[in-house]
Amino acid sequence: MTDRVIAIADGRHTKPLPKEGSLAAPGKVADMLGRQIRDLRISVTDRCNFRCTYCMPKESFGPDYEFLPRGELLSFEEIARLARAFRSHGVEKIRLTGGEPLLRKDLERLIAMLAAIPGIELTLTTNASVLAKKARALRAAGLKRITVSLDSLDDRVFRAMNDVDFPVAKVLEGIAVAAAAGLSPIKINMVVKRGVNDASIVQMARHFKGSGHIVRFIEFMDVGATNGWRMDDVVPSAEVIRRIDAEMPLESLEPNYSGEVAQRWRYRDGSGEIGVISSVTQAFCRACTRARLSTNGLLYTCLFATQGYDLRALLRSGASDDGLVAAIGALWNVRGDRYSEIRTAETAALRKVEMSYIGG
């Protein structure tokens, strides 16, 4: 295996792949901070039918934006091969992302392939725009549960944030159909931006309280280089909890597992729970167990990465399954990412990979 540096669609570059002498054997591997791989996020498309201002703003992803040609996307068979290789290193959970993953044609076929891998919990994150049409087929293919992105229940605010005039009612319909199909418990992610949708925090919590669904409030993050991130726009998770607790008393819960990124809180009256994800104000890098596979086959070891490793090149150059397993292990061994712990104004300005390539 030789070193490769290959340009990718959005102008960034890949890191060199490891040499033969540095390859790792199957089994659980730890990075330089002792963190093992547990979670794999796979972006199946860079396309999305929303233009959310914190992810794919129209200023950068307008009508003339060139998405990846189909030949550059990983095939379902390639994704499944890589998923099995990651499973060999202890991955327990795979989340399909995008862009909007439900825009990928015949996605149910990929879900069936991944669901057949023993020991994998399979989930998917969606904006729910077409979820009502697809939920039953997704469940029948083997998908276990979903996470829905919903940034406000105020229709005017939500339409402005998705920037394509998509109504809240259609998202809520998708959630209802998915729950009826058995894709539950459903998690609802709300990215909170001060002065934009933070007035919807309590409304969102109250609406889903007692529903069995779990709302998670996410601090606005400096992912990519196009969302105009400023620290002043961040609503700290501690403030989110104070606002909700003032009207619906909360108490903290223990994590479900080591490395869980959401801090859990439950309503004191027993009517459910919420979560907060505090990547900006309470960095959880030291417990991060996530790897991310981009639409075109690059491995990113951090959500805020500026470079990735080209696993597609390995796949298409004839690498064996053992070779893939070994290369992934070697790449994880040298991982030292802890971006949120060392975030500064300078690092926030770096040209990082866009969320639409690697999901959230």
CA distances from 320 to 118, 259, 275, 326, 334 (A): 20, 31, 41, 10, 22
Quickly count: other Cβ atoms within 10 Å of residue 344's Cβ.
Answer: 8
Other Cβ atoms closer than 10 A to 355: 23
In contact, 358 and 41? CB cutoff 8 Å? yes
The domains of the chain are located at 14-358
pLDDT (0 to 100) of residue 126: 98
Q: Are β-strands 14-15 and 308-310 bridged in parallel, bridged antiparallel, or unpaired?
A: parallel
Q: For residue 41, what are the β-bridge partners?
A: 95, 292
DSSP 21-89: GG---SS--B-TTSPBP-EEEEE--S--S---TTTS-TTTS-TT--PPPGGGSPPHHHHHHHHHHHHTT
Residue 120: which pLDDT band, with cuts at 50, 70 and 90? very high
Q: Can you tell me the distance from the alpha carbon of 116 to that of 248, in angstroms, rounded to the nearest whole number?
A: 42
Instruction: Say how far residue 330 (Cα) sits from the centre of its chain.
Output: 23
Query: Mean pLDDT of all residues in the chain?
Result: 88
CA dihedral 128, 131, 133, 136 (to 10 degrees): -170
DSSP type of residue 186: P
**Tell me: the pLDDT tens digits for 265-293?**
999 999 999 999 988 888 777 888 999 99
Tens digit of each residue's pLDDT (9 = 90 or more) over 5-37: 223 333 344 655 555 444 555 678 998 899 999
Q: Where are the beta strands (DSSP E) in 67-223?
A: 93-97, 121-126, 145-149, 187-192, 214-219
pLDDT in tens, 127-171: 999 999 999 999 999 999 999 999 999 999 999 999 999 999 999
CATH class of 14-358: alpha beta
Q: Please give the C-alpha separations between residue 110 and each of 79, 262, 313, in angstroms, as whole numbers.
A: 8, 27, 21
